[in-house]
Amino acid sequence: MNKPSHPGPALAALAALLEYPSETHPAIPDRTALAGYPQALAELDRFASGFQALSPEEREEVFTATFDVSPAVAPYLSIHLFGEENFKRGDFMAALNARYAQTGFSPGDELPDHVRNLLRFAATIPPEELRELAQFCLVTPLGVMAEKLRAENPYRALLAAARAVLEEAHPGLVPAPIPQAAAAGAATFCHVQTAGCGCPGAAALMEPSLTQ
């Protein structure tokens, strides 16, 4: 099957699965949204298999343990990009909020850098901007987050599916590394060769505090 021209539907479908499990939460994901992304579909099937094996109460417990109360992995991408104590997190979130306002995107009740918000936002933007967002702000953190979870945690496969969609949608994409360890928190993430940051909307994020 041919790959879709834009991975927006796939990203939106995966973002919806990152919501807190409830009675309306889809126990069986819509595979059609990921048609054309075979690697991502395989990861989605792993998620579905693990998720469907849990009772409603267990699903809530796993979600909470993964992302909410003393989480196994922080859902806020700026932590994985800059380190938890790095002041550049605030700059990054301010720039995200500004870009969201420009496009009319609402982050809802979550912080702008929540993984669900960035996937939802990625589903709405033009291909060129999406490629930058994937390369500099999404692909590597999604991989880091997935690797921190146990193999039996279904959300490991879901995060891997999101990364796979972005990689399959952009063949040849070389994700930017995260040069700083969380303990050091010294180096910056945005180190592109041009005069700006490659995160969502390069022009919107060309601020000295993000590029020095």
Domain that holds residue 54: 8-80+106-181
Q: Render pLDDT for 4-16 as a digit per residue (tens, 0 to 9).
A: 789 999 999 999 9
Residue 143, H or E segment: helix 139-147
Q: Render pLDDT for 173-193 as a digit per residue (tens, 0 to 9).
A: 988 887 543 323 322 323 322
**118: its two tokens:** 């960035």
Distance CA 42, CA 53 (A): 17
Domain annotation covers residue 144: yes
Domain annotation covers residue 96: no
Domain annotation covers residue 89: no
From the number of C-beta atoms within 10 Å of its C-beta (0-12, 13-18, 19+), residue 140 rates as: buried
Domain annotation covers residue 186: no
Domain annotation covers residue 114: yes
From the number of C-beta atoms within 10 Å of its C-beta (0-12, 13-18, 19+), residue 23 rates as: exposed
Domain total for the chain? 1
pTM for this structure?
A: 0.84
Q: Render pLDDT for 61-115 as a digit per residue (tens, 0 to 9).
A: 999 999 998 899 999 999 998 888 888 888 889 999 999 999 999 999 999 999 9
In the block, tokens 């490991």 appear at 156
What local confidence, expressed as pLDDT, does residue 198 receive?
A: 41
Q: What percent of the chain has pLDDT over 90?
A: 67
Domain annotation covers residue 158: yes
Domain annotation covers residue 42: yes
Q: Render pLDDT for 11-58 as a digit per residue (tens, 0 to 9).
A: 999 999 999 998 777 666 778 999 999 999 999 999 999 999 999 899
* CA triple 146-76-25, angle to 5 deg: 70
Domain annotation covers residue 157: yes
